[in-house]
Amino acid sequence: MNLKKMPAALALAALLLFAPACAKQKAVPAGTSRPASSLAEASQPVSQGAASQPASSGGGGCCAGGASSGTASSAAQGGTVPQQGAVLPVKTDDETFDRKFAANSLDKAYRAEMEKAVSNVEMAKVSEKYAALWQKEIAAVWGRLERAMKTDSSKKPAALKAEQQKWEAGKSAALQKIAADAQTGGSMAQVDAASRTMEFYRARAARLSRELYDYTKSAG
């Protein structure tokens, strides 16, 4: 055996032994592995803000017992709560009165202010403001109705007075129920409660206005 050629032979054997292993490490197909940071980025949603927004919920209501609101585009789902800035339609046995009432100045002003409201707090404040205005309207219409009924010898005045007294007596309980029902509205609870309260007073004003309309219509 030639000892001088041994180191060269050993070196060649070592090279041949390790070359396949190196080739395997470099031969991983493209796309089968990504750095850890890239995988983490890929797992994130496109918009975390949009993904974390809760689904909107709404409540229901009725003009007769407590009116409804609402809020924002989500409040109209699942009930009779109006869209933001909308009001519940008033339907009576007289279409002419319905058209006249639909054109009232309070509703027009309410819609205009609600269009400018950009937060739940602002929307609630607008509804609270108009709830107070409808309360004043009830007092004004009732005063006019009482004067108009003085010349009415039928049983209608007594029936209307009893009805108004019953409404006044049940007002506190009705408002408490409105507040309790609105609590299921989540983040829209304040808006819902305020809007329902406004509709509660608005519905009563409409009822009294309808009765007054009969007297003024016949007089005019």
Average pLDDT over residues 47-59: 31
Mean per-residue pLDDT over the chain, rounded: 74
Give strand pairing partners of 62.
66
Q: Mean pLDDT lowest for which of 3-7, 58-62, 190-194, 205-209?
A: 58-62
What local confidence, expressed as pLDDT, does residue 86 receive? Answer: 82
pTM value surpassing 0.85: no
What's the rounded Cα separation, in Å, for the pair 186 and 58? 9
pLDDT for 148-159, tens place per residue?
999 999 999 999
User: Following DSSP, what letter does each residue of 85-99 receive, concatenated?
Assistant: T--PPP--S-HHHHH
Domain of residue 158, residue span: 59-219
**CA 6 → CA 9, 11, 12, 15, 17, distances in Å?**
5, 9, 10, 14, 16
Q: How does 117-148 read in b/e, with b if 16+ C-beta sit within 10 Å?
A: beebeebbbbbbebbebbbebbeebbeebeeb
Reported confidence tier of residue 62, pLDDT bands at 50, 70, 90: very low
Domain presence at residue 106: yes
Average pLDDT over residues 165-171: 98
Close Cβ partners of 51 (under 8 Å, ≥ 6 residues apart): 45
What local confidence, expressed as pLDDT, does residue 90 receive? Answer: 95
What local confidence, expressed as pLDDT, does residue 66 receive? Answer: 32
Domain presence at residue 53: no
Average pLDDT over residues 125-141: 98
Q: Mean pLDDT lowest for which of 18-27, 80-89, 122-131, 177-186?
A: 18-27
Residue 106 pLDDT greater than 70, yes or no: yes
User: Residue 194 is which amino acid?
Assistant: A
Backbone angles phi, psi at 63, to 5 degrees: -60, -35
Domain presence at residue 77: yes
∠ CA 179-107-174, nearest 5°, is 25
Angle in degrees, 0-180, between the axes of helices 120-149 and 189-219, rounded to the nearest 10: 20
In this structure, the number of other CB atoms found within 10 A of the CB of residue 86 comes to 17
Domain presence at residue 11: no
Give strand pairing partners of 66.
62
Domain presence at residue 28: no
What's the rounded Cα separation, in Å, for the pair 51 and 125? 29
Give 6 or 148, the one with higher predicted confidence. 148
Domain presence at residue 32: no
Domain presence at residue 7: no
Reported confidence tier of residue 40, pLDDT bands at 50, 70, 90: very low
Domain presence at residue 213: yes
Residue 105 pLDDT greater than 80, yes or no: yes
**CA 82 → CA 4, 7, 91, 129, 147, distances in Å?**
100, 93, 15, 17, 34
Task: Indicate the number of domains in the chain.
Answer: 1
What local confidence, expressed as pLDDT, does residue 33 receive? Answer: 40
